[in-house]
Amino acid sequence: MKVSMYYNNSDLRLEEIPVPKIGPGELLVKVKASGICGSDVMEWYRIHRAPLVLGHEISGEIAALGKGVERYSSGDRVFVSHHVPCNTCRFCLAGRFTVCDTLHHTNFDPGGFSEYIRVPEINVDRGVFLLPDEISFEEGTFIEPLACVLHGQRMVRIKPGRSVLVIGSGISGLLHIKLAFALGAGRIVATDINDYRLRAAKRFGADAVINAGEEGDISKRLRELNDGCLVDLVIVCTGSESVIEGALKSVDRGGTVLFFAPSRPDVTIPFPLNDFWRNEITVTTSYAASPKDITTAIELIRARRVDVRDMITHRLSLDEAGRGFKLVSEAKESIKVIIEP
């Protein structure tokens, strides 16, 4: 079968490898669509494992079933989660599925930038979800990223009327805007250094946008936009070190800063502890998504509460994956780039 083999962000090669053999309890899924995630182009995060086949935002069709699989049928349209929890460790039993060791180490074989994937038995048991008829394969590639966004907003207990600042208007930031809008957030402000993405943020529900490359002091501009106030919730969707100080200065008393995107591993965050202590400001993070988040994301997309169709800007074949990585890593005039094997 054909795969797009990743060597680095500028070197993806169309190669041939054998179709994975499946065993008892496993599935073979024909990949119909696979989204390029921002984490796929974090070269520092990926390069040490190259060469490999990336891609974890997939939807497809079941091509073959291993012995003992009874819940699914050949031809079923499915979304497959690459990470699944064990459901039995102390973290899972406490409802903290995304810090489960099993979730951090499970995956399908190979990645989604391929014609077929093998779905291991544990993923078949708790990570395969039937796609409703209302959700296309392309829309199915948004299930995983929307579930991660939903998990983050659950963590910070977003409520109707709360003001929100989204820093970084790439695909994750734009999904945060769409979800916050759907959940009834108050004033939503978005920042980025790219006017194309800021225009998208306005289309997708932001009440106001700030070009962070031109404004300089985001907190000052926020007060102008927000009746003299800062915001209740800051969601940081970029790993850029330069935005961290601005994020910490933008949260109001009693508010929360959510670091949604990772930074490079050597980055540390200095923050004014006494100011945060006195003003009861929360700083937190979120990672991945739980099965509950996935099922909710599927319903949000199916019901068009979060309509993702207008976020797709590029549909590319496997042999164009290199162009797709370039589009995503340059972060200029693209939003969602989908590979369709």
Query: What confidence tens digit (pLDDT) does each residue in 285-330 have?
Result: 999 999 999 999 999 999 999 999 999 999 999 999 999 999 999 9
Q: pTM above 0.85?
A: yes
Q: Can you read off the two tokens belonging to residue 4?
A: 């797009």
Question: What integer is the mean pLDDT of 155-181?
Answer: 96
Domains along the chain with CATH numbers: 2-141+308-339 (3.90.180.10), 147-285 (3.40.50.720)
With b for 16 or more beta-carbon neighbours within 10 A and e for fewer, the 155-172 pattern comes to: bbebeeebbbbbbbbbbb
The answer on pLDDT for 125 being more than 80 is yes
Question: What integer is the mean pLDDT of 44-51?
Answer: 91
The answer to whether 128 and 86 are in contact (CB under 8 A) is: no
Residue matched to tokens 């779905």: 119
* Model pLDDT, residue 271: 81
What 3-state class would DSSP assign to 4? strand
Q: Of the candidates 248, 341, 232, which has an alpha carbon nearest to the alpha carbon of residue 3? A: 341
* Model pLDDT, residue 335: 97
Work out the pLDDT band at 240, boundaries 50, 70, 90: confident
Residue 108 bridge partners (DSSP) = none
Work out the burial of residue 75: count CB atoms within 10 Å of its CB; fewer than 13 is exposed, 13-18 middle, 19 or more buried. Answer: exposed
User: Helix, strand, coil shares of the chain as percentages rounded to 5?
Assistant: 35, 25, 40
pLDDT greater at residue 146 or residue 268: 146
The answer to whether 192 and 201 are in contact (CB under 8 A) is: yes
Q: 193: which residues sit within 8 A by CB, 6+ positions away?
A: 211, 212, 213
Pairwise CA distance, residues 215 & 172, whole Å: 22
Pairwise CA distance, residues 188 & 259, whole Å: 17
Question: What integer is the mean pLDDT of 218-234?
Answer: 94
Work out the pLDDT band at 44, boundaries 50, 70, 90: confident
Q: Can you read off the two tokens belonging to residue 59?
A: 């939807």
With b for 16 or more beta-carbon neighbours within 10 A and e for fewer, the 32-45 pattern comes to: bbbbbbbbbbbeee
Question: What integer is the mean pLDDT of 78-98?
Answer: 98
* E strand or H helix at 200: helix 195-203
Pairwise CA distance, residues 27 & 70, whole Å: 11
